Amino acid sequence: MKSEARAVVIGGGVVGASVAYHLTKAGWKDVVLIERGELTCGSTWHAAGGMHTINGDPNVAKLQQYTINLYRELEKISGQSCGMHVTGGIMLAGTRERLDWLKMTKARGRYLGMELEIISVDEAARLFPLMNKEHFVGALLDPIEGHVDPYGVTQAYAKAAQLGGAQIVRHNRVVDLKARADGSWDVITEGGNVHAEHVVNAGGLWAREVGRMVGLELPILAMEHQYLITEDLPALKGQPEQLHCIDFEGEIYTRQERGGMLLGTYERAGVPWSPATTPWDFTQSLLPNDLERIAPSLEVGFEHFPALGQVGIRKVVNGPFTFAPDGNPLVGPVGGLRNFWVACGVMAGFSQGGGVGLALSQWMVEGDPGADVWAMDVARYGDWATLAYTNAKVRENYSRRFRIRFPNEELPAARPLRSTPIYECLKAQHAVFGDYCGLEHPLWFAPSAAEANETVTFHRSNAHAQVAAECQAVREAVGLLEISNYGKFEVTGAGAEQWLSYVMANRVPAVGRIALTPMLNERGKLIGDFTLCRLAPQRVFLICTYAAESYYRRWFERHAPPAGVTVRPCAMQYVGLSVAGPRSRALLQSLTRTDLSSTAFPFLSFRQIDVGMIPALVGRISFTGDLGYEIWVSSDYQRALYDLLTGAGAEQGLRLFGGRALNTMRIEKGFGTWAREYRPIYGPYEAGLGRFVDLNKGEFVGRAAALAERDSGGALRLTTFTVDAGDADASGDEPIWHEGKVVGWVTSGAYGHSVRQSLALGYIPAAVAAADSGFEIEILGERRRAQRHSAAVFDPQGSRMRA
Ligand SMILES: Cc1cc2nc3c(=O)[nH]c(=O)nc-3n(C[C@H](O)[C@H](O)[C@H](O)COP(=O)(O)OP(=O)(O)OC[C@H]3O[C@@H](n4cnc5c(N)ncnc54)[C@H](O)[C@@H]3O)c2cc1C
């Protein structure tokens, strides 16, 4: 084994092998992959090898497409067969709702270039004769599903990596990792040490243990997973290979394995394996079978596919593999550690392994993953994702693997975990809560406790009328919203302004003022949107997306502030309430001696103000697009502030409102939000944020690329549409058609109660952005006429918020 390397990859499962290959492909030849046993000896060797392109996040779906398309190339480079069987696959719907979901999936696949097709039950039965038609109402056909040989794929990656210059070391365990002052690592192994500039944790089942070597507790958990292989089926003799099939009602998947069928299940009563530590002596091992546990799914399976129940079982496999709380991988550099990377929690190594290797290698070599990997970025989790939280969420996710997640559905596991001081007060007002980063926040308010439950649906739910009333209160009187679920940072010190001016695209505002600003990466793409509130010459308060706090912290480490400047995350130290609506000024003025008139405290002011007896930071800004104020207090004052505002608000017609109403009002205003309209695949001019980019203030991260985008105009345009919807609004990721062709995609959608129209925000090519007609948005499989708007549909001049 070498004693020096540019990068050491720990783990020779499919993921580690892919990372090693992609690193060599990206130009780093000096790579060592260290595996404690044989390659594949963790989860990889006993996988069913199924592969598919569909994922809830379109950007992860793209990486899955990349993975599947890579296998042929990999075979050519390595000379090793991947054992590919591209049989095509069908997903069977047993209910109308599932068929709606499949139609939505097909529609979403359109702008990703997937050739998905909705087919009738008869057509499905023709393609997959093992099914009993009685139980189904339709199906989705995907021509590029199938399965691979897990051993072959891993060997192919490893051979290709070796050909690219990597060294593969087997039967050698990494036992410790020691950081050097220059950011490099001593990788301590049973067979000697390697000094490496970079380390990748691709430890799969042992990724937690490898993380602990550097003081990191990764939110991953292994679940037991079982599949069985039947004896040969007479019906398959002489037939072409059967399609890969997912039966959502049975919660099972099945494919042909030689002359028999492989049938696996994500049972509801899933069982975690080794919840706290993974034993090192579990090598190329399996777990005892427990057919009892999956018996309910098998019963359904044998009913839905009768031929499978008529032959014996040749083999049962029970093996563990790891999941993150949301089921997507954990990839990227770890904040707080230099040159330490993870590629773990990959639950679908044969669909995702290639994409994970590609993104991580580009990140390491080029400094940027080259794709939008937010959905699998390790930084999407924060301190709340403890081992026990992960356990509850992973079990929930596993049991729901084949269940529909409705656009308005909130999942119950690990709740309530975090709450603010007014949680009980809001509950008493019949708040229906959502969970965001483990924090409870009100989505809407029901008329009574008995009705404080939302029906999950693709259509408008029982919340619709209540959300309408909440919007009306904001537009006509005043609404009160809890806004604690934002990320916050405080930047202080003599060089605070210069540093912020360098990492943000807009100018730092004057003292007492607010500025909105995008944050860009070097490629000029959006990696954040911030509200900068200048409290003092050397003190700036930043408000941003809470879910991205760790992501931002990592970025701030990369562009570290100079000595004397402190960047302090303080999300939960300041909790907040917002009052919005034409009467919000009168309400707040009745509680403070500070003059809030438009001349004394104009739009975008920010100041420390006493509200009643409560010291607060108050900004004149509102995401609703109406006159409004955001009031930030330390958590010990929030209850008093709530009592004060609701008490005084009664006279002004105050009504509580929640995240749902906020969402529809911000869409009416065309305001974007992180992870929907603002992501690292869009530039600021494309996203309509050009006015918040100050190209004249001097150098800042991404300036050159932003300048180029301004001059070229960018390729895309964020656009507002009104839609002739039925009783289902767009919710995100629906295709946008123009003149019969799919040209773009929806980022957010909702019913706009103030404008009484269904709304969608989405990206379309700049070339069609001026077209006045010919647009359609596909909702639940139906193309609905859509009208493009060149400005916000509500108060396009923005006069209400400046009033
Ligand atoms: C029964 C079953 C069926 C499955 N079916 C499918 C399927 O159909 N399709 C699909 O895509 N996925 C499937 N999977 C999931 C798939 O197996 C995983 O996604 C994949 O194997 C994860 O690969 P990995 O490289 O991350 O982890 P692993 O395979 O666990 O590899 C990690 C490697 O790291 C090594 N390692 C760990 N720590 C150290 C250390 N300190 N020093 C040296 N080496 C170390 C381990 O020995 C191990 O070889 C299935 C899993 C199971 C259990």
pLDDT tens figures, 181-228: 999 999 999 999 999 999 999 999 999 999 999 999 999 999 999 999
CA-CA distance, 774 to 767, in Å (whole number)? 14
Mutate to test the pocket of ligand 1, among 18, 43, 226, 254 (most ligand atoms within 8 A of CB): 43
Evaluate: CB of 718 within 6 angstroms of ligand 1. no
Quick one: CA dihedral 123, 129, 134, 140, positive or negative? negative
Average pLDDT of span 390-402:
96
Answer yes or no: are the C-beta atoms of 382 and 218 closer than 8 Å: no
The predicted pLDDT at position 60 comes to: 87
List of residues 6+ apart from 310 with CB closer than 8 A: 233
Tell me, what's the pLDDT at 799?
96
Q: How far is the centre of ligand 1, averaged over its atoms, from the C-alpha of 280 (Å)?
A: 14
Q: Which residues contact 794 (CB under 8 A, 6 or more apart)?
A: 625, 665, 668, 669, 752, 754, 755
Q: Which helix (H) or strand (E) holds 776?
A: strand 775-779
Q: Is the Cβ atom of 210 under 6 angstroms away from ligand 1?
A: yes
| Sign of the alpha-carbon torsion through 111, 552, 383, 272 | positive
658, 431 Cβ separation under 8 angstroms = yes
Q: Kindly state the average pLDDT of the residues 310-318.
A: 96
CA 292 to chain centre: 35
**Which residues, including other chains, have CB under 8 Å from residue 316's CB and lie 6 or more apart?**
226, 227, 228, 229, 289, 291
Question: Which band of pLDDT confidence, cut at 50, 70 and 90, is reported for residue 56?
Answer: confident
Nearest alpha-carbon partner for 466 in 432, 422, 426:
432
The Cα-based distances of 712 to 326, 697, 706, 708 in angstroms read 38, 21, 10, 6
User: How many angstroms separate the alpha carbon of residue 45 from the centre of ligand 1?
Assistant: 7
User: Would the CB of 33 count as within 6 Å of ligand 1?
Assistant: no
Model's pTM, two decimal places? 0.97
SS3 171: coil
| Distance from the alpha carbon of residue 14 to the mean position of ligand 1, in angstroms | 7
Q: What is the pLDDT of residue 481?
A: 98
pLDDT score of 57: 83
Q: Which pLDDT score, from 0 to 100, does residue 543 have? A: 98
Does the Cβ of 13 fall within 6 Å of ligand 1? yes
Statement: residue 113 has pLDDT above 90: no
- Distances in whole angstroms, Cα of residue 303 to Cα of each of 265, 297, 402, 404: 15, 10, 18, 22
Give the span between the Cα atoms of 20 and 9, in whole angstroms. 7
Distance of alpha carbon 63 from its chain centroid, rounded?
Answer: 14
Average pLDDT over residues 743-767: 97
- Residues 581, 602: Cα–Cα separation, whole Å: 15
Under 8 Å between Cβ of 12 and 21: no
Cβ of residue 46 lying under 6 Å from some atom of ligand 1? yes
In tens, the pLDDT along 470-524 reads 999 999 999 999 999 999 999 999 999 999 999 999 999 999 999 999 999 999 9
Q: What is the pLDDT of residue 140?
A: 96
pLDDT in tens, 18-31: 999 999 999 999 99
The 3-state DSSP class for residue 600 equals coil
What is the number of helices (H) and of strands (E) in the chain?
A: 19, 38
| pLDDT score of 561 | 97
User: What would the pLDDT profile of 581-609 be if each residue is shown by its tens digit?
Assistant: 999 999 999 999 999 999 999 999 999 99
- Whether 662 has a pLDDT exceeding 90, the answer reads yes
Compute the distance between CA of residue 14 and CA of residue 110 in angstroms, rounded to an integer: 29
pLDDT-derived band at 249, boundaries 50, 70, 90: confident
Is a pLDDT exceeding 90 seen at residue 250? Answer: no
Cα of 255 vs centre of ligand 1, distance in Å, is 20
Distances (CA, A) of 162 to 172, 344, 557: 17, 22, 34
Contact 776, 555 (CB under 8 A): no
- At 610-630, the pLDDT tens digits run 999 999 999 999 999 999 999
Mean pLDDT of 101-113: 87
Contact present, 219 and 378 (Cβ < 8 Å)? no
The rounded Å distance from CA 283 to ligand 1 centre is: 11
How many Å lie between the centroid of ligand 1 and the Cα of residue 781?
Answer: 37
Rounded-to-integer distance, Cα 141 and Cα 186, Å: 50
Ligand 1 neighbour 222 (Cβ under 6 A): no
Dump strand ranges (E) for 284-415: 313-323, 330-333, 340-344
Query: CA-CA distance, 531 to 795, in Å (whole number)?
Result: 22
pLDDT of residue 791: 96
The closest of 329, 353, 358 to 342, measured between CA atoms, is 329
Whether 357 is in the pocket of ligand 1, judged by its Cβ within 6 Å, is: no
Nearest CA to ligand 1 atom 4: 47
284-298 residue pLDDT tens:
999 999 999 999 999
- Nearby residues of 714 by Cβ (< 8 Å), 6 or more positions away: 683, 685, 686, 766
Paired tokens of 797: 């001049």
346 CA → ligand 1 middle, Å: 8
DSSP string for residues in 662-722: HHHHHHHTT---BTTTB-TTS-TTTTT-GGG--TTS---TTHHHHHHHHHH--SEEEEEEE
d(C-alpha 792, C-alpha 789), whole Å = 7
The b-or-e profile of 714-735 (16+ CB within 10 A means b, else e) is bebbbbbbbbebeebbbbbbbb
Q: Is the pLDDT of residue 576 over 90?
A: yes
Residue 37 Cβ contacting ligand 1 at under 6 Å: yes
Q: Distance between CA 416 and CA 205 in Å, rounded?
A: 29
In order of 213, 309, 792, the CA distances from 191 in angstroms are: 17, 50, 64
The pLDDT assigned to 594 comes to: 98
| CA distance linking residue 101 with residue 248, whole number of Å | 11
Q: Which residue has the tokens 């290979």?
A: 241
Nearest to 660 by CA among 729, 718, 587: 729
Residue 205 in contact with ligand 1 by CB distance below 6 A: yes
Q: Which residue's alpha carbon is nearest to atom 2 within ligand 1?
A: 47
Count CB-CB contacts under 10 A for residue 237: 8
DSSP conformation class of 15: H
Cα gap 254→1, rounded to integer Å: 42
Band of residue 440 on the pLDDT scale cut at 50, 70, 90: very high
Instruction: For residue 669, give the nearest of 475, 458, 459, 408 by alpha carbon.
Output: 475
628-658 pLDDT, tens digit each: 999 999 999 999 999 999 999 999 999 999 9
From the CA of 11, give the closest atom in ligand 1: 34
Distance CA 719, CA 725 (A): 17
User: Can you give the pLDDT at residue 111?
Assistant: 81
Report the percent of the chain where pLDDT is more than 70. 100
> Considering only CA atoms, which residue is closest to atom 34 of ligand 1?
11
Nearest to 347 by CA among 366, 325, 365, 362: 325
C-alpha dist (Å) from residue 25 to 14, 32, 161, 661: 16, 14, 8, 48
> Residue 446: pLDDT above 90?
yes
pLDDT tens sequence across 133-166: 999 999 999 998 999 999 999 999 999 999 999 9
The rounded distance, in Å, linking the Cα atoms of 722 and 513 is 34
- Hey, what are 300's tokens? 């359904």
Query: Mean pLDDT throughout 543-562?
Result: 96
